[in-house]
């Protein structure tokens, strides 16, 4: 079985992430969407919230599973017997960091290939951080994120306004 891992922070998952996951599911028998459980990044949503949103928005993909991982991605890939890491590339600005990470993962696990899928159309301009910035000052992002994410963002927005 050809297994790929699509790792990320997914804070929160956007339609751009989903498009990459859908395309990866056509190329591999199984795609493990791996949510990073790292503490060095100051995430807005908890691991549990990020996994719930991903689980609900990938229900239509029978060969996708959502899991969390901590520690080295190269080790997680080995444990899962994955042959590839999927990453999405939006702009040239993604490129340098992604190249360094691909080289490091290759160094740590020689069996592992990183495969880049280019973001298509407007997805190239979509990022989780932009979504959070806009949603948390009350902007509408419902056509850029899955319905469940829109719901979670609206709840956070309402909660922050009740407290202020
Ligand atoms: P990380 O912190 O690992 O970069 P992200 O959740 O930001 O985690 O992104 C996970 C992957 O999805 C990365 O490869 C990123 O480039 C890609 N990605 C993020 N947003 C988009 C998008 N709009 N279109 C295509 N790929 C995307």
Q: Which of 90, 117, 118, 123 to mutate to test the pocket of ligand 1 (most atoms within 8 A of CB)?
A: 90
Backbone φ, ψ for residue 34 (5° rounding) = -105, 115
Going by CA atoms, what residue is nearest to atom 4 of ligand 1? Answer: 8
Q: According to the model, what pLDDT value does residue 163 have?
A: 62
User: What is the pairing mode between strands 84-89 and 64-69?
Assistant: unpaired
Q: Is 128 a catalytic residue?
A: yes
Catalytic residue among 19, 23, 90, 156: 90
pLDDT in tens, 85-133: 999 999 887 899 999 999 999 999 999 999 999 999 999 999 999 999 9
Distance 80 CA to ligand 1 centre (A): 21
Whether 5 and 87 have beta carbons less than 8 Å apart is answered as no
DSSP string for residues in 76-100: HHHHHT--EEEEEE-SHHHHHHHHH
Q: Whole-model pTM?
A: 0.95
Q: Tens-digit pLDDT profile for the chain (164 aa)?
A: 999 999 999 999 999 999 999 999 999 999 999 999 976 668 999 999 999 999 999 999 999 999 999 999 999 999 999 999 999 999 887 899 999 999 999 999 999 999 999 999 999 999 999 999 999 999 999 999 999 999 999 999 888 877 66
Per DSSP, the three-state class of 35 is strand
Domain 3-126 has CATH 3.40.50.620: yes
Q: According to the model, what pLDDT value does residue 28 have?
A: 98
User: Domain extents for the chain?
Assistant: 3-126
**Distance from C-alpha of 40 to C-alpha of 50, rounded to nearest angstrom:** 16
Q: According to the model, what pLDDT value does residue 74 have?
A: 96
Q: According to the model, what pLDDT value does residue 164 have?
A: 61
Q: Which residue has the tokens 């991605």?
A: 73
Measured at the CA of 64, the angle between CA 89 and CA 24, to 5 degrees, comes to: 35
């Amino acid at each position: 079985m050809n297994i790929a891992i699509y790792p990320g922070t997914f804070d929160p998952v956007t339609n751009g992430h989903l498009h990459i996951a859908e395309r990866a599911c056509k190329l591999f028998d199984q795609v493990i969407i791996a949510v990073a459980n790292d503490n060095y990044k100051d995430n807005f949503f908890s691991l549990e919230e990020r996994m719930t949103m991903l689980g609900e928005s990938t229900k239509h993909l029978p060969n996708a599973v959502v899991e969390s991982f901590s520690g080295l991605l190269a080790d997680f890939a080995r444990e899962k017997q994955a042959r590839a890491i999927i990453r999405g590339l939006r702009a040239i600005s993604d490129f340098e960091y992604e190249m360094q990470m691909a080289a490091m993962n290759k160094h740590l696990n020689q069996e592992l290939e990183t495969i880049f899928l280019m973001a298509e159309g407007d997805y190239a301009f979509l990022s989780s951080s932009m979504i959070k910035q806009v949603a948390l000052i009350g902007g509408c992002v419902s056509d850029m994120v899955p319905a469940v994410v829109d719901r979670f963002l609206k709840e956070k927005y309402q909660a922050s306004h009740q407290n202020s």
